[in-house]
Structure formats: C-alpha cells, structure tokens
Amino acid sequence: MDQQPQPQRQHKGRPVWQPREPKADAGIGTHQATTANQNSSPKNRRHGKRAKKSVDNPSAAIETETSVEVEDVSSEPARQAEPAASNTVHLSETRFQDLVAQGVICPPTGRALKEEIGHEFLTLVQDRTILEILDGNDCLAQAKTGTGKTLGFLIPSIERLYRTCFKDPSARPVLPHANSVSILVISPTRELAQQITVEAEQLVKFLPFQVQCVIGGTNMTSEARRLNSEGQRCDILVATPGRLLDHLENSGTKAACANLKVLIFDEADRLLEEGFKREIDKIIAYLPPAKLSNRQTLLFSATIPPSVHQIAKTALLPNFKFITTIAEYESSTHEHVPQFHMVVDMCDLLHVSYSLVRKLFSVTPKPQLHPKIIFFFPTARATQLFAELLVAMLPTFAQPRPQIFEIHSRKSQSARTKATDAFRGIDNTVCGSILVSSDVSARGMDFPNVSHVIQVGAPSSREQYIHRLGRTARAGSAGVGILILAEFERFFLTRTLKDLNLTEYPGLQAFVNDQGNAGLVMQGLQNVSEETKSMAYAAWLGFYNSLLKEIRWRGGKDELVTEANRYAIGCLGCAVVPGISKKTVGKMGLKGVPGLTLVDDNARGGQRSMGNASSRGRGGESQSHGGRGGGGSGGRGGGRGGAGTMQNNGFAFAAKDDISTPATGGPNYGGGNYRGGESGSSSARGSAFSRGERGNGRGGRGRGGVGRGGAGGWTGN
Ligand SMILES: Nc1ncnc2c1ncn2[C@@H]1O[C@H](COP(=O)(O)OP(=O)(O)OP(=O)(O)O)[C@@H](O)[C@H]1O
C-alpha cells in the first residue's frame, strides 16, 4: 500500500506564477481574465447556452430612481481586494499530444482533446493520475479546486475501456453489450453530474462509446427506458446516488453493471460522509465485488479529511495509491486568491452584502470584464430571500444591470438546470451577473470567469468553505473570496479557518456605516414576500440550532430563539416574529423555549401558513411559494409523492445541503448532519430511499416514520 503523498513535481517548462505587482489604477470590481478559462474556449462554447435575457422577477423591483451611483464606501484600501493575476502553476510540462504520440492516450481521445476540449498541457494532477490509473491501481486523489480532476479520472478510465475493446488494431473493436455500464461516476449533486456528462461526451466524441446521466428531479421512467434501450449505449453512466440506487433496485441497472470496470466517486469526501454513506453502501452492494471482478475504484476530491483516509482503506484495494498535488505545508486553497472576511452585527448582514455588491459593480471594469459573482447562503430559504431581494433592488444598479440567478433545492430541476446553463454562458464583457446559490453549487461546478465568491453565514464545514471558494480562480484564473459572518459566527474564522489567514475586507466599517444602503435594503425587503421571510426565519432557526455547540451561546436555546427573532425583525424587516408550527418546534427540540410564535400544525406547514395553495397535492414540487411541501413523501418512510397533506410524517427537516441526499430519516437538527432534502425519486415504488421533496404525487406506499425532505418547505438547501 502506498499511502505516502509523493512530493509535488517541479515543472520546468511552464511559466510559474509570480506574486502580483500592486496595480495603482485597478478597482475592486476588476477581474483579470485568463486564457485558460475564457468563454471562447471549445469547452465553454459547448457548455454555454446563451445568457438568460431577463431576471426571474423583474416586476418585483422596488420603486427607486434608477442607476443610483453607490457611494465610494471603501475607496483606496479596497483596491487591495482586487483579483490577483492568473497563473499556470497548476500545469505540468507534459502535453496531451505527447501522450498520444507515446501511445498512452488513444488517437480518438487525443483528437477530442485537441478539437473539442482544447487544452495543451496536462495539469499536475492529470499528470499523476493518468498513468497511475492506467496501471490499474485504485486511487485516492487530491488536488486543489479547479485543477482538472475531472479529466484526471475520465481520460484514463476511457482509455482503459478503449484498450479492452480495441485489443487488435487491425480487427473490428469488440464492444460491450449496448446497455452494459463500464464506467460509473457518482456525483453528490445533479448539476455536477450533468457537467461531468458533458465533459465525458466531449472526450468520447470520436469513439464508439456513449454517456448517460441519471439524476433526481427528472423522469425516472424515461431514464429507465433510455438506460435499457438497444439503440443507445451506456458505456459511461454518471449519476447522483439516490437516483442511481433507484435504478439499481428497479430498472435492471444492477445487471447492466455486472461488468463494471471503473467506479469513480467525485467529491469523494462528501459521498463518504454520514449523510450519504448508507446509500453508497447499498450501491456498492449491488455492484460486482471489486476483488473478484477486477473493478477499479477511484476517489477524487480537493479535500480529504482524515476520516476519509480511514474509509478509503476499506473502500479501496489494499495497494491503492494516494496521489496528492498539495504539499504537506500547503493549505487546500489557492495562494493567489485573496481571501477576506467581514464580521458584522447580524442585522447588518444584508445591507453590507448589498453594499459590497454595488461597490463591485460600480467600478469600471478594466479590462472590460464585469463582475461575475457567486453568493452562497447556508439554507435554500436564505438563498431564495437574498435572490428575491437583489431582484427587487435591481433598479438601484447602474446599467448594464447584472443578471441575477437563483439555485437551490427548492427550485425545480428544470429551473436549476436553466439557471446553471445561463450563468455559465454569461459573457463578462457584456454584463455582470450574480448567482445566488445554496450548497448545490458548492462543489465541482465549473463556471468560467467567476470573479468573486461571497459566502454569507458560516459554511457547514471547513471543507465546504474551501469548495465554495473554489468556484472562483479555476484553472489558474484570478478571483477573490469574501466571507461575511455575523458576530456570533466569528468562531468559524478564529477556529475553523484559523490557518487560512483571511484578512479583514478593506474599508469594512464604511460598508457597515452606510445608512443610505441600509435604508435601501429595508425598502427592498418590503418587496420580498412575508412567506419567503417566514421560511427563511424557520430555516435560520434550524440551521443555527444545528450549530449550537460550535457557537457556544451562553443562553443556549433561549438565546438561539432570541437571535432568530432579532434576525426576523432586524435583518429581514418583519413587522412581527413569524409563526412556526408546533410540530417543527418539537422536532427542533425547541418546545417550551420562550419567544416562539407557535401556529397550528394544520395551518399548512406551520409558518408557511400564508403560502399559496399550489403546492398541495403535488408531492412537494412547488417551487418557491408555499414551500414544497404539501406532503412530499418525507424522506424515508412516507412513500413518495403523497397526497399533499400535512398529515404526512415526512417532515422536511434538515436539508440544508441540497444534494442528492439519502434519507436517513428522522429530524436531524442538533446532530450536525444537516443535509438532505433533495433528489427524491419520481417513481412511486415507495422504496426506503425515496426522499420526499420531489415525489411526483403518485402516493407510493411508504414505511411511515419520520424522514427528511418532503413536507416542511422551510429549510433545505
Ligand atoms: N489540462 C488542462 N489545461 C487547462 N485547463 C484545464 C485542463 N484540465 C482541465 N482544465 C479546465 O480546468 C477547469 C477545472 O476543471 P475541473 O472542473 O475538472 O476541476 P476540479 O479539479 O475537478 O475542480 P473541483 O475541485 O472544483 O471539482 C475546467 O474549466 C477545465 O476545462
């Protein structure tokens, strides 16, 4: 077993990044372009549909004069907060075409790399993994975000398949049966699965192999038909865990995987965490045993905490290779990415966030690249609220106004896919853009030219902070990270991220003191529905309830509720503290805590009592108003779909973390494992793995019990 990280190779031929000279005239909104990751690259041409023309809800705009110039709140010091220069430090000196010439990569893949993908040099991680995987070894591979791990596992896996099919170059290839899956890639999120699928399709463009993708939130029956169709091959299957399990159990995919050659876990640490583990264990049980079948297993991630090293020992064959391009003394973040923090009173969070964005957009971009920003929020409802607020405040932005996109688990899959494609396709030379997202976009998503990642509220873990930050500065490009915390979340900075050396954002106090913007935000909040606010309030309670230990409030749950109420009134501008259902309160363990406004459980999902009726009976499919509730099947137990009544036991508890999360059942606050609520299968078979949120309303029989996903409609990610 070779688990010793080998030292990072010195690359001689490539230009090496040098610290940036300070630029006197660049503003904080400037984003330095990189040739490695421009919209015009072959890859991005394929990925990118054109940008969405209009915002989600333009009619919600507040009445205020247009193009208000933002005050220069941060002035000179803020200039330090610009993106640093791009670099090529992640590249090796090996060219893809050298590997083709040496016979390491087959000519059709070489052609795809040249004509479809367009990269010249391998990245360091690719340089290491391709040969190791071709040798047939199981691998645990770690490299920083945005350094090309996807090709690092796809190229050698496809090459291995090629070699088995094209043993004799003069004879016809011997292909597996059309429905046989040779390479299985598991991804924790739907969007990432779709993205990997596109990259795999590009790679096999000149090979007789085909790629299929199965993810939650789409039609299970048509997927099953596609998987079993004689007319469509399935050499490479990319899947999210929940949907994959459904297919293994119900669509004949188990037989299709009988000759599986390579099993890949992308974002392996996430997939092997408690929240997914049961599902992953079941999936593995359906696959042929690695030892007997010669199946190779590959684990990839930018973050591999010690617990995953332990699990890797059981998941991989004993002689597995641990490959890392991160030296022991290095952090997992990119050194060329400035990271800042802003710690403010909770009531200032929204206006500081808004002021920051306006500041970033007020600077004339040089070169002509407008900001492309991703905002991360801890819960789906907080994400929704901020997106609605930004849309309402669009008239306060100068022309060309940014386009706003919103992605989280409470959106339908088609809306999510549309927003993902549109944000990916935004051309920074034309206008700016802001994606407001929950953790569904935290890992793996490759949006070109993201200039700033702004995280509001404590991320669920150090790893999650790193992955979110990794949405900027990809493939050597430039970027900036900003973490905005409420005072009580300071622990995240001082304890969890202690070694990462974030510095205070220049001119922070000016942002805090900007009463003009604070007033504008309060005005904007009047255009955000009470229902959205009340769901954000409940989600806030749920989220911080799960962080009680870390926050160490002296007043415990009493203080939690006091702060939640301050959030509702002082931050969200609610006139009164929103109501919350007794059942929800019970499940959060907050029964009897003073300060809560209890409402009847039958009042349509507690605090969602003002929700519209459209979500009823749809198995929790409603998109934004009324929550997805109405009795989504409720995680495990509860069947799926359901009749749309609140009697359903499947109360959507945790679900912070969009993701295709296994339904581990039971309320989950306080346990730290605060995820779930996504995928859900659309079949009505009532499997123990159905998650509630996206049941299709067919009312499959469930097993009772309390799960997550489904009815709650107020948390989720
Ligand atoms: N050899 C290469 N040369 C230049 N760019 C590359 C190369 N390989 C990959 N890229 C580009 O780098 C970007 C990031 O790649 P990828 O998404 O695979 O990164 P990752 O390491 O998997 O990131 P994450 O940890 O966030 O999942 C993509 O735009 C990809 O096209």
Residue 30 has pLDDT above 70, yes or no: no
Residue 13 has pLDDT above 90, yes or no: no
Structure tokens at 183: 């390479």
Instruction: With H, G, I as helix, E, B as strand and everything else as coil, classify residue 406.
Output: strand
Nearest CA to ligand 1 atom 9: 148
Q: Is the Cβ–Cβ distance between 456 and 484 less than 8 Å? A: yes
What pLDDT was estimated at residue 408? Answer: 97
CA-CA distance, 184 to 181, in Å (whole number)? 7
The average pLDDT across 416-445 equals 96
Cβ of residue 466 lying under 6 Å from some atom of ligand 1:
no
Cβ of residue 365 lying under 6 Å from some atom of ligand 1:
no
- DSSP code per residue over 56-87: S-GGG-----TTPPPP--SHHHHGGGS-----
Measured from the Cα of 444, ligand 1's closest atom is 27
DSSP state of 90: T
ipTM: 0.99
CA-CA distance, 214 to 237, in Å (whole number)? 8
What pLDDT was estimated at residue 362? Answer: 85
What pLDDT was estimated at residue 600? Answer: 86
- Among 38-47, 277-286, 571-580, 638-647, the range scoring the smallest mean pLDDT is 638-647
Closest CA to 456 of 489, 422, 423, 416: 489
The domains found in the chain, sorted by start residue, are 33-37+90-324 (3.40.50.300), 333-525 (3.40.50.300), 530-599 (no CATH), 600-717 (no CATH)
Phi, psi (rounded to 5 degrees) for 231: -85, -10
> 149 CA distance to ligand 1 centroid (A)?
6
Closest CA to 456 of 443, 468, 470: 468
Cβ of residue 440 lying under 6 Å from some atom of ligand 1:
no
Nearest CA to ligand 1 atom 3: 119
The average pLDDT across 420-430 equals 94
> 289 CA distance to ligand 1 centroid (A)?
31
CA-CA distance, 535 to 578, in Å (whole number)? 9
> 242 CA distance to ligand 1 centroid (A)?
26
Confidence label for 432 from pLDDT (cuts 50, 70 and 90): very high
Helices (H) and strands (E) in the chain, counts: 25, 18
What pLDDT was estimated at residue 70? Answer: 36
Nearest CA to ligand 1 atom 27: 444
What pLDDT was estimated at residue 716? Answer: 57
Closest CA to 378 of 528, 132, 544: 544
> 386 CA distance to ligand 1 centroid (A)?
29
Torsion 221-662-653-344 (CA) sign:
negative
Q: What digits encode the pLDDT tens for the residues 189-235?
A: 999 999 999 999 999 999 999 999 999 999 999 999 999 998 899 99
Residue 375 has pLDDT above 70, yes or no: yes
Cβ-based neighbour number of residue 659 at 10 Å: 33
Q: Using DSSP bridges, classify how beta strands 262-266 and 296-301 pair: parallel, antiparallel or unpaired.
A: parallel
The Cβ-side half-sphere exposure at 231, using a 13 Å CA radius, reads 2
Cβ of residue 470 lying under 6 Å from some atom of ligand 1:
yes
- For residue 384, the Cα-to-chain-centroid distance in whole angstroms is 15
Q: Is the Cβ–Cβ distance between 633 and 650 less than 8 Å? A: yes
CA-CA distance, 61 to 392, in Å (whole number)? 4
What pLDDT was estimated at residue 514? Answer: 95
H, E, C per residue of 200-239: HHHHCCCCCCCEEEECCCCCHHHHHHHHHCCCCCCCEEEE
More confident residue, 653 or 596: 596
The residues that bridge with 710 in the sheet, in sequence order, are none
Cα dihedral 322, 312, 256, 259, rounded to 10, equals 50
More confident residue, 250 or 605: 250
- Among 112-121, 530-539, 566-575, 607-616, the range scoring the smallest mean pLDDT is 607-616
The sheet with strand 403-407 has its strands ordered as: 403-407, 433-437, 372-376, 452-456, 480-486, 339-344, 503-504
Q: What digits encode the pLDDT tens for the residues 123-149?
A: 999 999 999 999 999 999 999 999 999
Structure tokens at 606: 């507690």
What pLDDT was estimated at residue 641? Answer: 30
Name the one residue in this structure whose structure tokens are 């409720």.
634
Cβ of residue 122 lying under 6 Å from some atom of ligand 1:
yes
Cβ of residue 48 lying under 6 Å from some atom of ligand 1:
no
Q: What is the pTM of this model?
A: 0.79
More confident residue, 14 or 536: 536
Cβ of residue 533 lying under 6 Å from some atom of ligand 1:
no
Ligand 1 mutation pick, 150, 151, 154, max ligand atoms within 8 A of CB: 150
Phi, psi (rounded to 5 degrees) for 299: -115, 125
Confidence label for 73 from pLDDT (cuts 50, 70 and 90): very low
CA-CA distance, 571 to 567, in Å (whole number)? 5
Cβ of residue 149 lying under 6 Å from some atom of ligand 1:
yes
> 118 CA distance to ligand 1 centroid (A)?
12
Burial of 22 (0-12, 13-18, 19+ CB in 10 A): exposed
Structure tokens at 262: 């390579």
Cβ-based neighbour number of residue 609 at 10 Å: 18
Closest CA to 426 of 451, 394, 409, 407: 451
Structure tokens at 359: 């500041």
Measured from the Cα of 470, ligand 1's closest atom is 26
CA-CA distance, 206 to 188, in Å (whole number)? 28
Q: What digits encode the pLDDT tens for the residues 488-500?
A: 999 999 999 998 9
> 373 CA distance to ligand 1 centroid (A)?
19
Cβ of residue 453 lying under 6 Å from some atom of ligand 1:
no
Q: Cβ neighbours of residue 679 under 8 Å, at least 6 residues apart?
A: 190, 215, 216, 217, 240, 242, 243, 659, 660, 661, 691, 693, 694
* Helix (H) or strand (E) segment spanning residue 453: strand 452-456
Residue type at position 460? S
> 708 CA distance to ligand 1 centroid (A)?
34
The average pLDDT across 480-485 equals 98
The average pLDDT across 413-433 equals 95
What pLDDT was estimated at residue 81? Answer: 60
* Mean pLDDT for the chain overall: 77
Measured from the Cα of 195, ligand 1's closest atom is 17
Alpha helix locations (H) across 573-668? 582-588
> 475 CA distance to ligand 1 centroid (A)?
6
The average pLDDT across 178-197 equals 97
H, E, C per residue of 511-546: HHHCHHHHHHHHHHHCCCCHHHHHHHHHHHHHHHHC
Nearest CA to ligand 1 atom 23: 146
- Among 522-526, 528-532, 603-607, 648-652, the range scoring the smallest mean pLDDT is 648-652
Name the one residue in this structure whose structure tokens are 């206006």.
351
Instruction: Give the Cα-Cα-Cα angle 79, 82, 85 (nearest 5 degrees).
Output: 130
Structure tokens at 170: 């003069």
The average pLDDT across 277-284 equals 94
The number of residues making up the chain comes to: 717
What pLDDT was estimated at residue 538? Answer: 97
- Among 239-243, 324-328, 480-484, the range scoring the smallest mean pLDDT is 324-328
Q: What digits encode the pLDDT tens for the residues 551-572?
A: 999 999 999 999 999 999 999 9
Closest CA to 117 of 57, 32, 206: 206
